[in-house]
A and B are shown apart, each in its own frame.
Chain A
Amino acid sequence: MEPAIAFRDVSYGIRGKEVLRHFDLEVAAGETLVLLGRSGSGKTTALKMVNALLTPISGDVYVEGKPTREWDPILLRRRIGYVIQEAGLFPHYTVARNVAVVPQLLGWERDRIDARVDDLLSRVGLPPEEFRSRYPRELSGGQRQRVGVARALAAEPSLLLMDEPFGALDPVTRRDLQLEFLALRSTWTKTSLFVTHDVREALALATRIALLHGGRLEIVATPREFLAEKSGEARIFLAALEDLPEA
Protein backbone atom coordinates (compact mmCIF):
# COMPACT_ATOMS: atom_id res chain seq x y z
CA MET A 1 0.00 0.00 0.00
CA GLU A 2 1.10 3.52 -0.72
CA PRO A 3 2.58 5.25 2.32
CA ALA A 4 0.51 8.13 3.72
CA ILE A 5 3.64 10.26 4.00
CA ALA A 6 7.02 9.71 2.39
CA PHE A 7 10.19 11.76 2.71
CA ARG A 8 12.47 11.01 -0.22
CA ASP A 9 16.04 12.24 0.12
CA VAL A 10 14.86 15.49 1.71
CA SER A 11 17.37 18.13 2.72
CA TYR A 12 16.62 21.46 4.28
CA GLY A 13 18.75 24.32 5.48
CA ILE A 14 18.35 27.84 6.69
CA ARG A 15 20.95 30.61 6.55
CA GLY A 16 23.68 28.23 5.42
CA LYS A 17 22.94 25.82 8.26
CA GLU A 18 21.86 22.29 7.38
CA VAL A 19 18.85 21.32 9.44
CA LEU A 20 17.81 18.10 7.71
CA ARG A 21 20.17 15.93 5.69
CA HIS A 22 19.12 13.32 3.14
CA PHE A 23 16.05 12.42 5.08
CA ASP A 24 14.26 9.24 3.95
CA LEU A 25 11.21 8.04 5.80
CA GLU A 26 7.89 6.37 5.02
CA VAL A 27 4.86 6.60 7.26
CA ALA A 28 2.37 3.84 6.52
CA ALA A 29 -1.35 4.60 6.53
CA GLY A 30 -2.80 4.11 10.00
CA GLU A 31 0.45 4.08 11.91
CA THR A 32 1.69 6.39 14.64
CA LEU A 33 5.23 7.22 13.76
CA VAL A 34 7.03 9.06 16.53
CA LEU A 35 9.86 11.41 15.65
CA LEU A 36 12.19 11.34 18.62
CA GLY A 37 15.24 13.49 19.05
CA ARG A 38 17.01 16.07 21.15
CA SER A 39 16.09 19.71 21.08
CA GLY A 40 17.24 21.21 17.77
CA SER A 41 17.55 17.86 16.00
CA GLY A 42 15.09 18.95 13.29
CA LYS A 43 11.80 17.35 14.43
CA THR A 44 9.60 20.43 13.97
CA THR A 45 11.30 21.18 10.67
CA ALA A 46 10.48 17.71 9.36
CA LEU A 47 6.86 18.07 10.48
CA LYS A 48 6.39 21.43 8.76
CA MET A 49 7.46 19.94 5.44
CA VAL A 50 4.43 17.67 5.46
CA ASN A 51 1.87 20.49 5.40
CA ALA A 52 4.03 22.67 3.16
CA LEU A 53 4.85 25.29 5.77
CA LEU A 54 8.42 24.62 4.65
CA THR A 55 9.63 23.42 1.26
CA PRO A 56 12.62 21.09 0.91
CA ILE A 57 15.77 22.46 -0.67
CA SER A 58 16.19 19.14 -2.41
CA GLY A 59 14.15 15.96 -2.47
CA ASP A 60 10.39 15.72 -2.06
CA VAL A 61 7.82 15.01 0.60
CA TYR A 62 4.90 12.94 -0.69
CA VAL A 63 1.50 13.09 0.93
CA GLU A 64 -0.90 10.41 -0.28
CA GLY A 65 1.43 9.77 -3.17
CA LYS A 66 1.67 13.37 -4.40
CA PRO A 67 4.65 15.66 -3.74
CA THR A 68 3.73 18.64 -1.55
CA ARG A 69 4.97 20.96 -4.30
CA GLU A 70 2.10 19.75 -6.47
CA TRP A 71 -0.61 20.03 -3.83
CA ASP A 72 -2.69 23.18 -3.46
CA PRO A 73 -1.24 24.17 -0.07
CA ILE A 74 -4.60 25.45 1.21
CA LEU A 75 -6.35 22.15 0.47
CA LEU A 76 -3.44 20.15 1.80
CA ARG A 77 -3.43 22.03 5.12
CA ARG A 78 -7.19 21.71 5.62
CA ARG A 79 -6.87 17.94 5.29
CA ILE A 80 -4.13 17.67 7.87
CA GLY A 81 -4.66 18.18 11.60
CA TYR A 82 -1.74 20.05 13.09
CA VAL A 83 -0.98 20.50 16.77
CA ILE A 84 1.50 23.32 17.06
CA GLN A 85 4.29 23.17 19.60
CA GLU A 86 3.32 26.44 21.32
CA ALA A 87 -0.42 25.80 20.75
CA GLY A 88 -0.67 28.93 18.51
CA LEU A 89 -4.31 29.60 19.44
CA PHE A 90 -6.04 32.71 18.15
CA PRO A 91 -6.12 35.08 21.14
CA HIS A 92 -9.22 36.94 19.89
CA TYR A 93 -11.29 33.78 19.49
CA THR A 94 -13.01 31.85 22.27
CA VAL A 95 -12.00 28.24 22.88
CA ALA A 96 -15.02 27.06 20.87
CA ARG A 97 -14.20 29.26 17.88
CA ASN A 98 -10.58 28.17 18.00
CA VAL A 99 -11.58 24.53 17.82
CA ALA A 100 -14.06 25.33 15.04
CA VAL A 101 -11.58 27.08 12.75
CA VAL A 102 -11.03 24.39 10.13
CA PRO A 103 -14.64 23.07 10.06
CA GLN A 104 -15.69 26.68 9.51
CA LEU A 105 -13.19 27.13 6.67
CA LEU A 106 -14.62 23.94 5.17
CA GLY A 107 -18.13 25.35 5.44
CA TRP A 108 -19.65 22.88 7.89
CA GLU A 109 -23.10 23.67 9.23
CA ARG A 110 -23.47 25.51 12.53
CA ASP A 111 -25.14 22.64 14.42
CA ARG A 112 -22.61 20.10 13.27
CA ILE A 113 -19.75 22.37 14.33
CA ASP A 114 -21.26 23.04 17.77
CA ALA A 115 -21.79 19.34 18.44
CA ARG A 116 -18.29 18.51 17.26
CA VAL A 117 -16.70 21.21 19.42
CA ASP A 118 -18.47 20.04 22.58
CA ASP A 119 -17.59 16.43 21.88
CA LEU A 120 -13.91 17.23 21.37
CA LEU A 121 -13.65 19.48 24.41
CA SER A 122 -15.02 16.72 26.61
CA ARG A 123 -12.59 14.24 25.11
CA VAL A 124 -9.57 16.37 25.93
CA GLY A 125 -10.83 16.86 29.46
CA LEU A 126 -12.19 20.40 29.20
CA PRO A 127 -15.91 20.37 30.16
CA PRO A 128 -17.56 22.40 27.37
CA GLU A 129 -19.96 24.30 29.67
CA GLU A 130 -16.98 25.65 31.54
CA PHE A 131 -14.48 26.20 28.74
CA ARG A 132 -16.41 26.87 25.55
CA SER A 133 -16.59 30.65 25.90
CA ARG A 134 -13.24 31.31 27.52
CA TYR A 135 -10.41 33.07 25.74
CA PRO A 136 -6.95 31.48 25.47
CA ARG A 137 -5.50 33.99 27.94
CA GLU A 138 -7.93 32.63 30.54
CA LEU A 139 -6.43 29.13 30.29
CA SER A 140 -3.35 27.49 31.74
CA GLY A 141 -0.56 26.39 29.40
CA GLY A 142 -1.67 22.77 29.56
CA GLN A 143 -5.31 23.68 28.91
CA ARG A 144 -4.26 25.70 25.88
CA GLN A 145 -2.35 22.73 24.59
CA ARG A 146 -5.42 20.55 24.93
CA VAL A 147 -7.47 23.07 22.96
CA GLY A 148 -4.71 22.83 20.34
CA VAL A 149 -5.22 19.07 20.19
CA ALA A 150 -9.00 19.47 19.90
CA ARG A 151 -8.52 22.00 17.11
CA ALA A 152 -6.30 19.63 15.15
CA LEU A 153 -8.88 16.82 15.40
CA ALA A 154 -11.89 19.02 14.61
CA ALA A 155 -12.30 18.46 10.89
CA GLU A 156 -11.72 14.71 11.18
CA PRO A 157 -8.46 14.73 9.25
CA SER A 158 -7.03 11.41 8.16
CA LEU A 159 -3.54 12.75 8.79
CA LEU A 160 -2.33 14.23 12.07
CA LEU A 161 0.86 16.13 12.76
CA MET A 162 1.44 16.52 16.48
CA ASP A 163 4.35 18.61 17.70
CA GLU A 164 4.87 17.78 21.38
CA PRO A 165 1.13 17.95 21.99
CA PHE A 166 1.44 16.92 25.64
CA GLY A 167 4.63 18.82 26.37
CA ALA A 168 3.24 21.35 28.83
CA LEU A 169 1.21 18.91 30.89
CA ASP A 170 1.77 17.50 34.35
CA PRO A 171 2.66 13.78 34.35
CA VAL A 172 -0.81 12.73 35.50
CA THR A 173 -2.78 14.65 32.87
CA ARG A 174 -0.17 13.69 30.33
CA ARG A 175 -0.70 10.04 31.09
CA ASP A 176 -4.49 10.50 30.84
CA LEU A 177 -4.20 12.09 27.43
CA GLN A 178 -1.74 9.48 26.23
CA LEU A 179 -4.18 6.77 27.25
CA GLU A 180 -7.03 8.65 25.57
CA PHE A 181 -4.85 8.89 22.46
CA LEU A 182 -4.22 5.13 22.50
CA ALA A 183 -7.92 4.45 22.99
CA LEU A 184 -8.84 6.76 20.13
CA ARG A 185 -6.26 5.17 17.93
CA SER A 186 -7.79 1.75 18.25
CA THR A 187 -11.03 3.13 16.80
CA TRP A 188 -9.74 5.37 14.05
CA THR A 189 -7.82 4.95 10.85
CA LYS A 190 -5.73 8.07 11.14
CA THR A 191 -2.07 8.30 10.35
CA SER A 192 -0.08 10.35 12.80
CA LEU A 193 3.36 11.79 12.83
CA PHE A 194 4.05 12.58 16.45
CA VAL A 195 7.00 14.61 17.72
CA THR A 196 8.43 14.23 21.18
CA HIS A 197 11.74 14.34 22.99
CA ASP A 198 10.37 12.08 25.72
CA VAL A 199 11.53 8.51 25.10
CA ARG A 200 8.93 7.12 27.49
CA GLU A 201 6.15 8.78 25.49
CA ALA A 202 7.69 7.51 22.25
CA LEU A 203 7.78 3.94 23.53
CA ALA A 204 4.21 4.13 24.80
CA LEU A 205 2.58 5.58 21.70
CA ALA A 206 4.62 4.62 18.68
CA THR A 207 4.05 1.90 16.19
CA ARG A 208 7.54 2.88 15.03
CA ILE A 209 10.09 5.33 16.31
CA ALA A 210 12.26 7.43 14.00
CA LEU A 211 15.25 8.78 15.85
CA LEU A 212 16.70 12.06 14.65
CA HIS A 213 20.17 13.20 15.51
CA GLY A 214 21.64 16.45 14.20
CA GLY A 215 19.31 16.55 11.21
CA ARG A 216 19.94 12.94 10.22
CA LEU A 217 17.71 9.97 10.65
CA GLU A 218 19.65 7.58 12.84
CA ILE A 219 17.32 4.60 13.07
CA VAL A 220 13.71 3.66 12.46
CA ALA A 221 12.59 0.91 14.79
CA THR A 222 9.57 -0.55 16.55
CA PRO A 223 9.54 0.17 20.30
CA ARG A 224 10.68 -3.40 20.95
CA GLU A 225 13.63 -3.08 18.55
CA PHE A 226 14.40 0.34 19.94
CA LEU A 227 14.64 -1.03 23.48
CA ALA A 228 17.14 -3.58 22.24
CA GLU A 229 19.46 -0.97 20.70
CA LYS A 230 22.92 -1.29 22.09
CA SER A 231 24.67 1.75 20.68
CA GLY A 232 24.39 5.25 19.34
CA GLU A 233 21.83 7.93 20.07
CA ALA A 234 19.16 5.35 20.96
CA ARG A 235 21.30 4.02 23.76
CA ILE A 236 21.85 7.55 25.05
CA PHE A 237 18.08 8.11 25.18
CA LEU A 238 17.52 4.77 26.87
CA ALA A 239 20.26 5.44 29.36
CA ALA A 240 18.54 8.69 30.28
CA LEU A 241 15.34 6.70 30.78
CA GLU A 242 16.94 4.12 33.01
CA ASP A 243 18.97 6.78 34.73
CA LEU A 244 22.07 4.71 34.10
CA PRO A 245 25.47 6.15 33.40
CA GLU A 246 26.11 6.28 29.66
CA ALA A 247 27.78 3.21 28.23
Chain B
Amino acid sequence: MPATLAHEIAELTGEHIVLVAVALSIASLIGIPTGISLTRKEAWRGAVLGITNVVQTIPSLALFGFLIPLPFIGGIGKRTAVVALVLYALLPILRNTLTGILGVDPAVVESAVAMGMTDRQRLFRVELPLAAPTILAGVRIAAVTTIGTATIAAAVGGGGLGVFIFRGLASVDSSEILAGAVPAALLALAADGGLGWIERRFARP
Protein backbone atom coordinates (compact mmCIF):
# COMPACT_ATOMS: atom_id res chain seq x y z
CA MET B 1 0.00 0.00 0.00
CA PRO B 2 1.54 3.30 -1.06
CA ALA B 3 2.27 5.73 1.75
CA THR B 4 0.00 8.37 0.27
CA LEU B 5 -2.97 5.97 0.28
CA ALA B 6 -2.31 4.99 3.89
CA HIS B 7 -2.10 8.63 4.77
CA GLU B 8 -5.38 9.40 3.01
CA ILE B 9 -7.13 6.47 4.70
CA ALA B 10 -6.01 7.73 8.09
CA GLU B 11 -7.13 11.26 7.30
CA LEU B 12 -10.56 10.31 5.96
CA THR B 13 -11.11 7.83 8.79
CA GLY B 14 -10.44 10.65 11.23
CA GLU B 15 -12.88 12.87 9.38
CA HIS B 16 -15.44 10.07 9.43
CA ILE B 17 -15.10 9.57 13.16
CA VAL B 18 -15.52 13.29 13.82
CA LEU B 19 -18.62 13.42 11.61
CA VAL B 20 -20.20 10.44 13.38
CA ALA B 21 -19.22 11.62 16.85
CA VAL B 22 -20.67 15.10 16.28
CA ALA B 23 -23.91 13.69 14.85
CA LEU B 24 -24.27 11.14 17.68
CA SER B 25 -23.62 13.72 20.37
CA ILE B 26 -26.23 16.07 18.96
CA ALA B 27 -28.72 13.23 18.48
CA SER B 28 -28.19 12.13 22.10
CA LEU B 29 -28.53 15.67 23.39
CA ILE B 30 -31.84 15.96 21.59
CA GLY B 31 -33.07 12.38 21.76
CA ILE B 32 -32.54 11.54 25.44
CA PRO B 33 -34.27 14.66 26.88
CA THR B 34 -37.06 14.32 24.32
CA GLY B 35 -37.49 10.66 25.21
CA ILE B 36 -37.63 11.56 28.91
CA SER B 37 -40.26 14.22 28.38
CA LEU B 38 -42.32 11.80 26.29
CA THR B 39 -42.48 9.43 29.28
CA ARG B 40 -44.25 12.31 31.10
CA LYS B 41 -46.46 13.44 28.19
CA GLU B 42 -48.34 10.48 26.92
CA ALA B 43 -50.40 12.57 24.47
CA TRP B 44 -47.31 13.57 22.46
CA ARG B 45 -45.81 10.12 22.23
CA GLY B 46 -47.55 8.88 19.08
CA ALA B 47 -46.94 12.05 17.08
CA VAL B 48 -43.25 12.42 17.93
CA LEU B 49 -42.45 8.74 17.40
CA GLY B 50 -44.43 8.82 14.14
CA ILE B 51 -42.42 11.72 12.76
CA THR B 52 -39.04 10.22 13.68
CA ASN B 53 -40.21 6.94 12.21
CA VAL B 54 -41.09 8.58 8.89
CA VAL B 55 -37.74 10.37 8.76
CA GLN B 56 -36.08 7.00 9.24
CA THR B 57 -37.77 5.60 6.14
CA ILE B 58 -36.53 8.34 3.76
CA PRO B 59 -33.69 6.84 1.70
CA SER B 60 -30.49 8.50 2.84
CA LEU B 61 -29.37 9.76 -0.54
CA ALA B 62 -32.78 11.38 -1.01
CA LEU B 63 -32.65 12.97 2.43
CA PHE B 64 -29.27 14.53 1.70
CA GLY B 65 -30.78 15.78 -1.57
CA PHE B 66 -33.77 17.32 0.21
CA LEU B 67 -31.53 19.15 2.65
CA ILE B 68 -29.24 20.80 0.10
CA PRO B 69 -31.66 23.58 -0.98
CA LEU B 70 -32.68 24.44 2.61
CA PRO B 71 -31.34 27.66 4.16
CA PHE B 72 -29.12 27.48 7.31
CA ILE B 73 -29.15 23.73 7.75
CA GLY B 74 -28.67 22.84 4.07
CA GLY B 75 -26.13 23.54 1.36
CA ILE B 76 -23.07 21.60 0.34
CA GLY B 77 -20.74 20.58 3.15
CA LYS B 78 -20.37 19.10 6.59
CA ARG B 79 -23.33 20.88 8.12
CA THR B 80 -25.84 19.23 5.81
CA ALA B 81 -24.21 15.86 6.43
CA VAL B 82 -24.44 16.27 10.19
CA VAL B 83 -28.08 17.34 10.05
CA ALA B 84 -29.06 14.28 8.03
CA LEU B 85 -27.09 11.92 10.28
CA VAL B 86 -28.68 13.43 13.37
CA LEU B 87 -32.14 12.86 11.92
CA TYR B 88 -31.34 9.18 11.39
CA ALA B 89 -29.71 8.65 14.76
CA LEU B 90 -32.60 10.24 16.62
CA LEU B 91 -35.10 7.40 16.39
CA PRO B 92 -33.20 4.57 18.09
CA ILE B 93 -32.00 6.89 20.86
CA LEU B 94 -35.44 8.39 21.44
CA ARG B 95 -37.25 5.07 21.29
CA ASN B 96 -34.84 3.31 23.63
CA THR B 97 -34.96 6.16 26.15
CA LEU B 98 -38.72 5.92 26.17
CA THR B 99 -38.95 2.13 26.41
CA GLY B 100 -36.08 2.01 28.93
CA ILE B 101 -37.81 4.35 31.36
CA LEU B 102 -41.30 2.96 30.82
CA GLY B 103 -39.85 -0.51 31.33
CA VAL B 104 -38.68 0.16 34.89
CA ASP B 105 -40.58 -2.11 37.30
CA PRO B 106 -43.75 -0.22 38.34
CA ALA B 107 -43.35 -1.42 41.94
CA VAL B 108 -39.92 0.24 42.05
CA VAL B 109 -41.26 3.48 40.60
CA GLU B 110 -44.15 3.46 43.04
CA SER B 111 -41.79 2.91 45.92
CA ALA B 112 -39.72 5.92 44.78
CA VAL B 113 -42.88 8.03 44.86
CA ALA B 114 -43.95 6.57 48.19
CA MET B 115 -40.56 7.38 49.78
CA GLY B 116 -41.24 11.04 48.97
CA MET B 117 -38.95 11.54 45.97
CA THR B 118 -39.73 14.52 43.77
CA ASP B 119 -40.18 13.92 40.06
CA ARG B 120 -36.56 14.93 39.39
CA GLN B 121 -35.21 12.72 42.17
CA ARG B 122 -37.19 9.79 40.86
CA LEU B 123 -35.82 10.41 37.36
CA PHE B 124 -32.17 10.83 38.26
CA ARG B 125 -31.88 8.39 41.16
CA VAL B 126 -34.12 5.59 39.99
CA GLU B 127 -35.43 5.71 36.44
CA LEU B 128 -32.34 6.84 34.51
CA PRO B 129 -29.89 4.50 36.28
CA LEU B 130 -32.20 1.55 35.68
CA ALA B 131 -32.89 2.55 32.08
CA ALA B 132 -29.23 3.28 31.32
CA PRO B 133 -28.41 -0.06 29.64
CA THR B 134 -31.40 0.28 27.31
CA ILE B 135 -30.59 3.91 26.48
CA LEU B 136 -26.97 2.96 25.78
CA ALA B 137 -28.17 0.16 23.52
CA GLY B 138 -30.05 2.81 21.54
CA VAL B 139 -26.89 4.90 21.23
CA ARG B 140 -24.96 1.83 20.12
CA ILE B 141 -27.48 0.99 17.40
CA ALA B 142 -27.46 4.62 16.29
CA ALA B 143 -23.64 4.61 16.21
CA VAL B 144 -23.40 1.52 14.03
CA THR B 145 -25.95 2.74 11.49
CA THR B 146 -24.53 6.27 11.47
CA ILE B 147 -21.06 4.97 10.64
CA GLY B 148 -22.54 3.29 7.58
CA THR B 149 -24.82 6.13 6.55
CA ALA B 150 -22.02 8.66 6.96
CA THR B 151 -20.29 7.20 3.88
CA ILE B 152 -23.07 8.83 1.85
CA ALA B 153 -22.20 12.21 3.36
CA ALA B 154 -19.44 12.50 0.74
CA ALA B 155 -22.19 13.00 -1.83
CA VAL B 156 -22.97 16.39 -0.31
CA GLY B 157 -19.38 17.32 0.39
CA GLY B 158 -19.37 16.03 3.94
CA GLY B 159 -16.05 14.21 3.55
CA GLY B 160 -15.21 11.02 5.42
CA LEU B 161 -14.64 7.51 4.07
CA GLY B 162 -17.44 7.95 1.53
CA VAL B 163 -14.99 10.04 -0.51
CA PHE B 164 -13.16 6.81 -1.45
CA ILE B 165 -16.37 5.01 -2.24
CA PHE B 166 -17.78 7.70 -4.55
CA ARG B 167 -14.40 8.12 -6.24
CA GLY B 168 -14.19 4.36 -6.71
CA LEU B 169 -17.70 4.25 -8.13
CA ALA B 170 -16.92 7.04 -10.58
CA SER B 171 -13.69 5.44 -11.78
CA VAL B 172 -14.96 1.86 -11.48
CA ASP B 173 -12.02 1.12 -9.18
CA SER B 174 -12.92 -1.52 -6.62
CA SER B 175 -9.75 -1.04 -4.60
CA GLU B 176 -10.79 2.57 -3.94
CA ILE B 177 -14.23 1.35 -2.86
CA LEU B 178 -12.57 -1.12 -0.49
CA ALA B 179 -10.33 1.60 0.91
CA GLY B 180 -13.54 3.29 2.07
CA ALA B 181 -15.70 0.28 2.90
CA VAL B 182 -13.23 -1.78 4.96
CA PRO B 183 -12.28 0.95 7.45
CA ALA B 184 -15.98 1.89 7.75
CA ALA B 185 -16.90 -1.71 8.56
CA LEU B 186 -14.07 -1.96 11.09
CA LEU B 187 -15.20 1.28 12.72
CA ALA B 188 -18.74 -0.06 13.01
CA LEU B 189 -17.48 -3.26 14.63
CA ALA B 190 -15.30 -1.33 17.05
CA ALA B 191 -18.16 0.98 18.02
CA ASP B 192 -20.49 -1.97 18.52
CA GLY B 193 -17.97 -3.79 20.70
CA GLY B 194 -16.90 -0.75 22.70
CA LEU B 195 -20.38 0.56 23.42
CA GLY B 196 -21.62 -2.98 24.09
CA TRP B 197 -18.93 -3.31 26.73
CA ILE B 198 -19.96 -0.05 28.42
CA GLU B 199 -23.59 -1.18 28.28
CA ARG B 200 -22.78 -4.39 30.13
CA ARG B 201 -20.85 -2.43 32.76
CA PHE B 202 -24.01 -0.41 33.39
CA ALA B 203 -26.25 -3.44 33.56
CA ARG B 204 -24.29 -4.78 36.55
CA PRO B 205 -24.57 -2.39 39.46
Contact = CB atoms under 8 A, between A and B. Distances in A.
Interface of A: 51, 53, 73-78, 82, 84, 86-93, 101-102, 105, 135, 151
Contacts of B121: 105
Given A53-B110, A88-B114, 20 more contacts: A74-B117, A74-B118, A75-B116, A77-B115, A78-B115, A84-B110, A84-B114, A88-B108, A88-B111, A89-B111, A90-B111, A90-B126, A91-B105, A91-B130, A92-B126, A93-B205, A101-B115, A102-B115, A102-B116, A135-B205
12 contacts: A51-B114, A76-B116, A77-B113, A78-B115, A82-B114, A84-B114, A87-B107, A88-B110, A88-B111, A91-B108, A92-B130, A105-B121
Contacts, number: 54
A53 B110 CA distance: 8
B112 interface: yes
Interface of B: 105, 107-108, 110-118, 121, 126, 129-130, 205
Contacts of A135: 205
Given A86-B107, A88-B108, A78 B205 contact: no
A144 B118 CA distance: 24
3 closest cross-chain pairs (CB), A and B: A88-B111, A78-B116, A77-B116
Nearest to B132: A92
Contacts of B116: 73-78, 102, 105
Nearest to A53: B114
Contacts of B205: 91-93, 135
A73 B115 CA distance: 10
A223 B117 CA distance: 37
A90 B108 contact: yes
B107 A53 contact: no
A176 B90 CA distance: 55
Contacts of A73: 116
Nearest to A105: B116
B111 A84 contact: yes
B115 A105 contact: yes
Nearest to B117: A105
B129 A92 contact: yes
Contacts of B130: 91-92
Q: B111, B115, B117, B129 — which one has the most chain A CB atoms within 10 A of its CB? A: B115
A35 B43 CA distance: 38
Contacts of A87: 107
B39 to A, nearest CB: 18
Contacts of A105: 115-117, 121
Contacts of B113: 53, 77
Q: A53, A73, A84, A87 — which one has the most chain B CB atoms within 10 A of its CB? A: A84
Nearest to A137: B205
Nearest to B106: A88
B1 to A, nearest CB: 49
Contacts of A89: 108, 111
A228 B130 CA distance: 51
